[in-house]
Homo-oligomer: A and B are copies of this chain.
Amino acid sequence: MIEILQKSPLFRRMDAGEIQHILRCLGNHRKQYRRQEYIFLEGEPAPRFGILLSGAVQIIKETKAGGRILISQIFPGDAFGLSYVCAGVSYLPISVQAADRSEILFIELEQLVQTCQNACRFHVDMIKNALRLLAEKNLFLDSRLYYISHKTIRERLQSYLEDQEARQGKEFDIPLNREELADFLCADRSALSRELGRMKQEGIIDYHKNSFRIL
């Protein structure tokens, strides 16, 4: 368990001893779930968030039509529900379900922000980590919105690829396959493929598999 938490962004830069220590302040409230079991249910309030210790869980949304939309997948070490807890929502707009037998560590907002009686200085680090987590998600959503806000697939691709170039350099790999990229940019896979072909044809970009270059 400590090894998992060391990889968790919420416990970033903490060693095993520090985590041991802070776990006592946090209450160490753990629970096991069976496959398919609901962890949070749409419509509930959100008094605590979770950290997945083992297994796999999914954030899902049930549509009016009865369908289920997969919002995101959570892997061991990841936190989920943090935004809802920090925003203090009284009605969860999504459900969280175990995709496998899973173990969850639950943390309450008060436990996170209160400087504990033990006056442990790691609290400050963990608060910083929580702020970082929310802020990074924010920037990620911001950038995605920025890409999608362009009306044509070509413009979406260009804004995305320019961003990747700025981060990784002249020749860069993208971490998504074609289908994932199409989903990410809210476009049809075949239409995206077509547009990529055209752009290569016109000499705007060059690519091979997942390696790209803007010309």
Which A residues are within 8 Å of any B CB, using their own CB? 64, 82-89, 93, 109, 113-115, 124, 127-128, 130-132, 134-139, 141-145, 148-149, 151, 162, 186, 188
Contact = CB atoms under 8 A, between A and B. Distances in A.
A136 B64 contact: no
Contact of A145 (B85, B115, B131, B148): B148
Given A131-B134, A134-B131, A135-B134, A148 B186 contact: yes
A67 to B, nearest CB: 13
A82 B136 CA distance: 11
A113 B93 CA distance: 30
Nearest to A188: B151
Given A109-B128, A142-B141, A134 B86 contact: yes
A139 B186 contact: no
B87 A136 contact: yes
A82 B142 CA distance: 13
Contacts of A82: 135
A137 B138 CA distance: 7
B88 A139 contact: no
A113 B109 contact: no
Interface centre among A87, A135, A142, A186 (most CB of B within 10 A): A135
Contact of A86 (B83, B114, B135, B149): B135
Contacts of A186: 148-149, 151
